[in-house]
């Protein structure tokens, strides 16, 4: 019983020491994500062909012009 309590205590201690480090590693760095997003949306292919990044604006224009929407899904957080 005593041995079990000791191992629980060590386990808890270990967790309390490693948890903040893990949380720090897993938490998204918002400033970095913002930077990556800005980099993505300034790429030439996106700027040169008249892409819209706003779903609301696209939908409004599509309704007005009666055209279908060509939607391309990409990501900025990873290459």
Partner 1 sequence: MENGAFSQKDFAKTIGDRALLFAHVTTRIPEHPNDGMLSDVGGRGFPTIALLSPDGELIGRHSGPRSVEGLAAAIDRAAGLINSRAMVAAGDEAAKADLLLYELGFGIVADFKTATQRFEELKKVTPEQEKEIGGLMAGLEFSDVMAQRKTLGGKGVAAKAYEMYQAGRIVTGDIEADFWLSGVLAHAMFQRDIKLGEEVAEKLSKMESFQDPGTAAILKRMLARLRNHDK
Which span (5-13, 15-23, 58-66) binds partner 1, by CB under 8 A?
A: 58-66
The rounded distance, in Å, linking the Cα atoms of 22 and 7 is 21
Residue 78 near residue 39 (C-beta atoms within 8 A): no
Which lies closer to partner 1 via its Cβ, residue 5 or residue 28? 28
| Burial class of residue 22, CB neighbours in 10 A (0-12, 13-18, 19+) | exposed
Pick the closer one to partner 1 by CB: 15 or 77: 77
Which stretches of the chain bind partner 1, using CB under 8 A?
28, 30, 33-34, 36-37, 40-41, 43-46, 48-53, 55, 58-59, 61-63, 65-77
């Amino acid at each position: 019983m005593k041995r079990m309590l000791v191992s629980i205590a060590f386990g808890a201690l270990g967790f309390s020491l490693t948890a903040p480090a893990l949380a720090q590693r897993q938490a998204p760095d918002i400033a970095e994500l913002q930077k990556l997003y800005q980099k993505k949306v300034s790429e030439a292919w996106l700027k040169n062909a008249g892409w819209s990044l706003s779903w609301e604006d696209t939908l409004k224009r599509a309704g007005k012009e009666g055209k279908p929407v060509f939607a391309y899904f990409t990501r900025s957080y990873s290459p």
